[in-house]
Chains A and B, each alone.
Chain A
Amino acid sequence: MGILEDIAGGVVFNILNMARGEPLAEALNFFIADTIKVFLLLVVMIFLVSIIRTFVTPPKVKKLLGGSKEGFGNLVAALLGVPTPFCSCSAVPLFIGFMEAGVPLGVTFSFLISCPLINEVALAMLFGLFGWKVAALYIGSGLVIAVAGGILIGRLDLEDEVEDFVKKIRSKKIEEKKLNWNQRLKFARLQTINIVTNVGPYIVLGIALGAFIHGFVPIGFLADIAGPNNPLAVPVAVIIGIPLYSNAAGTIPIVQALMDKGMAIGTALAFMMSITGLSLPEMIILRKVLKPKLLAIFVLILAVSFIAVGLLFNALLA
């Protein structure tokens, strides 16, 4: 990505004639380079995932997972959760559809965990701003949490903690139309425009804030409070992350800037997982199909897992 930095540097230091090392110039340089990089990646990533999405539709996933076994079923569910469309408002119809098709509760939860946690927007941002190593750590630990969390919920025998009406619903079958490549490409194009215009403003705002932190906050500013030597930083980051959601994509550039100022990698990972994987609106919606006990167990398992991931990587990579 050296070319992008050159372009940004050229604009800031040559065209605008700002001085190197000047906080405002550094912030602007950072902002231009990151914005171009992130948006290029977003467009490519969303387009590719949208094409995959036309093949991996919810009815197909449902059929694949119906009657699947613990372990393998959880792994397949966690993997299928990555390219599947997810907005928290689809969580309930999806859940009901899975239950009706006889997908085991634990397998359903593996899907419900990985679906929002690992998505193409987060991946493009992580890859663009942190590089492939952090992106791979995020995907890897996200999948482990989805599989393990699902297996654990499956073992706890919580079928009675699903709201009773869910088991009574008998739905109609919808026929799936076969798409040709033209339709798939059109779908991917529309989807890309839609998602980029939806999350774009938050991302630009996030990058701008990140650039500001990058240029004006002194290096090492956070080393004491959010560095690897403060074990409390991880749980605090996870708790702060839970209510944040609508601007999940926008917070990633801010986290990157904070890491630059001394936040430890594990703490940053735990924070981002908590923002994308656990959200207040999603919980409110899931409450419609889950009794309070199961919902609480779900949130607790995720929060504990994110904290564990944070502490683990702080210990390993510090």
Chain B
Amino acid sequence: MKIEVLGSGCANCKKLEENTRTACKELGLTAKIIKVQDFKKIASYGVMATPALVVDGEVKIYGRVPDVKEIKELLKG
């Protein structure tokens, strides 16, 4: 599983990354979490509000910071 956290590194993006790591740990997933800060790449995903969470190339959440519980459900499904 490939997880990407899209955002330019502001407080919200860091929070999303942190929540994603916690969610992975709690689920026992060994997914690779990549931070994407390049605007061209962020825009090419069609994301217009950061932060965003991309799982296996698919945009799951954007423009807000989900809590750990929501990310866990997302990664399970």
Contact = CB atoms under 8 A, between A and B. Distances in A.
Interface of A: 57-59, 62, 85, 87-90, 92-94, 96-97, 100, 165, 169-174, 187, 190-191, 194, 198, 285, 288-289
A94 B65 contact: no
A53 B50 CA distance: 15
Given A58-B49, A89-B13, A169 B44 contact: yes
B77 interface: no
Contacts of A93: 39, 42-43, 47-50
Contact of B40 (A89, A169, A172): A169
25 contacts: A58-B48, A58-B63, A59-B48, A62-B48, A85-B49, A85-B63, A87-B10, A87-B12, A89-B7, A89-B9, A90-B50, A92-B8, A92-B42, A93-B39, A93-B47, A93-B48, A169-B40, A169-B44, A171-B43, A172-B44, A172-B46, A173-B46, A174-B45, A190-B67, A191-B64
B1 interface: no
Interface string B3-47: 000011111110000000000000000000000000110111111
A86 to B, nearest CB: 8
B11 A198 contact: yes
Nearest to A173: B46
A93 B49 CA distance: 7
Contacts of B45: 171-172, 174
A153 B59 CA distance: 33
Contact of B39 (A62, A96, A100, A194): A96
A280 B62 CA distance: 25
Nearest to B51: A89
A59 B10 CA distance: 22
A169 B46 CA distance: 10
Nearest to B8: A89
A194 B10 CA distance: 14
User: Top 7 closest A-B pairs, CB basis?
Assistant: A58-B48, A171-B46, A96-B43, A97-B48, A89-B8, A89-B10, A172-B46
B10 A94 contact: no
B40 to A, nearest CB: 6
Most chain B C-beta atoms within 10 Å of own C-beta, residue among A100, A165, A172? A172
B63 A89 contact: no
B50 to A, nearest CB: 5
B33 to A, nearest CB: 19
Contacts of A88: 10
B64 A190 contact: yes
